[in-house]
Amino acid sequence: MEPNKRAKFRQDRGLHGLHVAVPLAREASFNLDFDKKGLATFKYSAKDYATGQPRDYVVSEKGEKGFQMSDLELGQELGHGEAGCVLKARHKPTNRLFALKRVNICEQSTRHQVMRELQAYRECGSMPQIVDLFDVFYVEQRVYMVLELMTWGSLELLIHSHNVKIKREGSGKYEKMQESLLSSIAFSVLKALRFLHDDHKMVHRDLKPGNVLLSMDGGVKLSDFGVSIRDADTDCVAGTVGYMSPERLDGQVCSDKGDIWALGIMILECAK
């Protein structure tokens, strides 16, 4: 894509533009099966971060940690995408709050994305800057991921609320996000990327404000690994167009540099 056309495409789409996700031909298979009671299950493999050894996971109506739909009280929607949504949920036996990600896996491409995301959470669970996965279960063509609830929501919401506040004040001045907050967010994201890139040879590929989550105690964590990939050697296009690097828009081979580019775009968006 020529530079002037690329610039116009970015301008037309804006920073929250088209999301592209293309399944990889060499992805591991997503195995659907049935247990002895006739209930549907699925299997996937991932490296356990605690032992460093690969293991197989079997997911059914009751998660490995005991989570199941009947124990959850669903609340407000926290976000949504093409294949599902994220809901606030209260675990009735413990009264704890979680973020429940619900994904419809009728489409083969969505199954691949779910598998990639589960593998990433399983393998990177020791990293403080990665959202914790507590459990996962499967009911009627839907996978439910029980995730850590980040109480401040996403960086995207923070940017939006900051801009709305300025507009309401009507001062005509355009204030910037506090430098201390911006530097803290950037530093935490960089730590997470270093962990992904150096320790796991993994590229996120969809880094954007909506996938950076914040908590009231100052925590900053990455989420949504549905299009992440290891080894960074594919020319398959995936992610959100407005945050893609020029070489990715030109169809060149993916690398970890694309995540750094996306972080730069996010910092500019926060600081503008």
Per the annotation, the verdict on 206 as an active-site residue is yes
- Report the residue count for the chain: 272
Please list, residue by residue across 148-168, b when 16 or more beta carbons sit within 10 angstroms of its beta carbon and e when fewer do. bbbeebbbbbbbeebeeeeee
Catalytic-role residue among 35, 199, 206, 256:
206
Quote the CA–CA distance of 33 and 39 in Å, as a whole number.
Answer: 8
- What is the full DSSP assignment across 66-89? S--GGGEEEEEEEEE-SSEEEEEE
Cβ atoms within 10 Å, residue 145: 25
Beta-carbon contacts of residue 170 (< 8 Å; ≥ 6 apart): none
Residues involved in catalysis: 206
